[in-house]
Each structure stands twice: as C-alpha cells, then as structure tokens.
Chains A and B, each alone.
Chain A
Amino acid sequence: MKKLFLSLTLILGFLVYIFLAAPAPQAPAVSDNKRQPSDLPPENQPPEQNSSANSNSSRNSVVQKPLQKYKDGAYIGDVADAYYGNVQVKAVIQGGQIISVQFLQYPSDRRTSIQINSEAMPILKTEAIQAQSAKVDIVSGATQTSGAFQESLGSALAQAKN
C-alpha cells in the first residue's frame, strides 16, 4: 500500500506540475487578470465629449482579454497503461486553474512481489542490433526445431568423425 500511495503521489505531483508550472507567456495572464479592472474606465464616469457613443466599447476591445492556457471545464484523460494496471484521471479547470483531480482508474492492489523503484523509471537504452564478429563459447537463441537440429548435428558429427 505504501508503494501505491507513493506512486499516486508522484502521479498527482506530476499532474499538478503540468497544470500549474506556468511558462513565461502565461505570466502576463495572471497579472492581466489583476490589471484588467483598472484598464476599464469607471462605470460612472461620463463619456468624453468629443467621443462617439461607441468609443467606450471600442476602447474596451483594444484591451485584449488574455487567453487562458486551459479552458474551464471537466476533462477526462486517456487511459494510461502502466504495466501493472491502468491509470485514468479527471481534471476540473476553473478560472484557468486546476481545482480538482480525480482518479477514475488506478492499479488495484497487486498480490505480486514485484518491486518498483521509488524513483521514476529510467528511460531504457536502445540500439540497432549489429552483427558481432568475435568468437563466443556458446550461443543463446530461441529454441530450434529438433528436425532442423538433427539434420545439422548429423552433418556436423559426420565431419567430426575420425
């Protein structure tokens, strides 16, 4: 259970990081939210004499409302397949901020004794396979059919005969 709790905490922390770690462009959005009320002219101020009736609205449209990176609403993520089970979350955004994350699917208690590293799993190294020319004592490969082997062994033994 401890390991499950740790895994869930990591997943939650990761999600929180994604939604809250604000890249540079988003910063103005936060401050603009604060600035916006002061950009608008006070409601009770009389319109300027030499401006048209639409001047206030055109002035308002010049002040661009900053785009929220995330639209408000409830979102259900794809089912993610950790090899020991599925993970699926539902995130609710309000005011551009994550206000709740709910697990719809998470790995059920495992009866196995598989141990998971408490740190994130490392990215595994890959390579294109390459023929090796060095000699080896023995070869490991998928099992050969006995028919093919007998044929091959037969001819090898025939050569080995004194």
Chain B
Amino acid sequence: MKESQVLMGMPIVAEILDPEAVPEALKKVFSYFRHVDEKFSVYKSGSEITRINQGKIAGPELSEEMKEVFALAQNTKEQTDGYFDIRTPGGFYDPSGLVKGWAIRNAARILRKDGFKNFYVDAGGDIQFFGKNQENKKWSAGIKNPFDSQEIVKIVYLSTEGIATSGTYIRGQHIYNPRNPDRPISEIVSLTVIGPDVYEADRFATAAFAMGRRGINFLESFPGLEGYLIDRQGIATMTSGFEQYTNINHA
C-alpha cells in the first residue's frame, strides 16, 4: 500500500508491504507530516517557527516539540563544530535541515508502533527503511545522478538504515558554510549519507555538505556514518565503510 502527497514543500511517499496494511495507517503518517509542516514551515505565516522569528514567542512559550528540535539542533551544532546551524546568515531560524529527518523518523516510529515490519517513508529523497522489500530482500536505493535526474549512479542495499542526500543541484544554494556564508559551495554537488536512521543521516548530510569537500573526511571519522560525495567534475569519493552497502549480501 503506497501513498504520495506534497507536504513541507516536497513529495512525501510512504509504502507499507505488510498485508495487514490499511489506508488508515498511511493517513496517520501524512496527518503527522501535515502537523509538522504547520508548526515548522518558515513559509507559513501562522507557524510556530514564523512566530518565533517574528519575536512573538520565545523560550518557555515554545511547544515541547519545538524545544526538542532546538535542543537537537544545538547538539548537532556542537557535534559538527558549528557547520550545522539552524540560524541562517539572515539571522532567522530555519530548522528544516533537521526537521525533515526527524519527522521521517517519527513517522516511521508511528508505523512501527502500529506493528508494521516492512515499509519505507521517503520525504524529498531522504528515506527511512524497515524490513525487506517485495522480493524479501534488502531495500535497494539508487543515488540520483546530480547531472541527470533520470539516471542513478550508485545502488545501495539497506534494511533499517536511513539515507539522506544533500545537494544544491535542484534548489540552488540553500546550504551555507557558516564560516563563510557569502561563498557558494560549488566544488561539490551531492553528498549522500547512510546512517543508523534517517534523522542521523539527514542532519549530518546537511552539516557535511556545508564543509565542502572535507565533508567526506568528517563522515569518515564519525563512527556509524558512511558517505558518497560527488563533485562538480562527476568524481565520487566514498568513506571506507560505504562500499559494503553496495553488496546486497552485506551483514
């Protein structure tokens, strides 16, 4: 059972393979994403994040979910030496680099709680997997060619991991190097991260991309994360543990 909707400014797809899947299960997932969108969208005039950015609410007035996201953002900022920062060069807060993976992970947890064992949740190309695919094998994910969206350039096989791809080839410069926000990140075009779940993959994909070419070295040094970076010449660099994922029979 599969459903797609455009929410949070991106296509969201959820597919459950378990035979017990019912439409209500997927409705729950999409209603959760709608809730996240209402609260965290910087494009919505009534959202909580917009009211924060307008100075209308602050500190203890924040909702529990907002406080959680801000705390996670602070944690991520410290872990990435400031390369991940929800505060934009313009001074406003935009937590979307973290909220996306966080929301997908939460949506997947809703499905897990409802007892489903084989599914994925995909929001804008960041995906949380669980269990096995239609052929009872690991889920296969293709990494899109940043130079040709009709092609894939790498295939990885995942089970409970999350995968996230950061890139500037679609939306242009929306990721900043906090140390040099005026200089566009141009030498790399795509960075895919595989992590223990999509929340980890997503936040580090954003942070590592902001580091430019060295992002792949950052990922190499971080246990539990693997990466595949593509530069503007079409040369890919991978972390030393990445290649195992290209083997369908890996542990």
Contact = CB atoms under 8 A, between A and B. Distances in A.
B80 A124 contact: no
A43 B10 CA distance: 90
Interface string B119-138: 01010111100000110000
B164 interface: yes
Interface in A122-162: 122, 124-132, 134-146, 149-150, 153
A111 interface: yes
B139 to A, nearest CB: 5
Given A83-B211, A138-B142, A142-B144, A129 B230 contact: yes
Interface stretch (B23-31, B107-115, B232-240): B232-240
Interface in B12-55: 13
Contacts of A149: 6, 10-11
A138 B6 contact: no
Q: How large is the interface on B (under 10, 10 to 19, 20 to 34, 35 or more residues)?
A: 35 or more
Contacts of B170: 141-145
A67 to B, nearest CB: 38
A116 B219 CA distance: 11
B11 A124 contact: no
A139 B144 contact: yes
A114 B79 CA distance: 6
A115 interface: yes
B140 A136 contact: yes
The prevalent SS among residues of B at the interface is strand
A141 B235 contact: no
Contacts of A121: 217, 220-221
Given A83-B214, A124-B216, A132-B152, A140 B142 contact: yes
Interface string A41-74: 0000000000000000000000000000000000
A34 interface: no
A112 interface: yes
Given A110-B81, A114-B222, A143-B124, A128 B142 contact: no
A103 interface: no
Contacts of A38: none
A128 B235 contact: yes
Most chain B C-beta atoms within 10 Å of own C-beta, residue among A110, A121, A124, A125: A124
A158 B231 CA distance: 37
A146 B11 contact: yes
A31 interface: no
A136 B235 contact: no
Interface of A: 81, 83-84, 110-117, 121-122, 124-132, 134-146, 149-150, 153
Interface of B: 4, 6, 9-11, 13, 78-81, 120, 122, 124-127, 133-134, 139-146, 148-149, 151-155, 163-171, 190, 192, 211, 214, 216-218, 220-223, 230, 234-240, 243
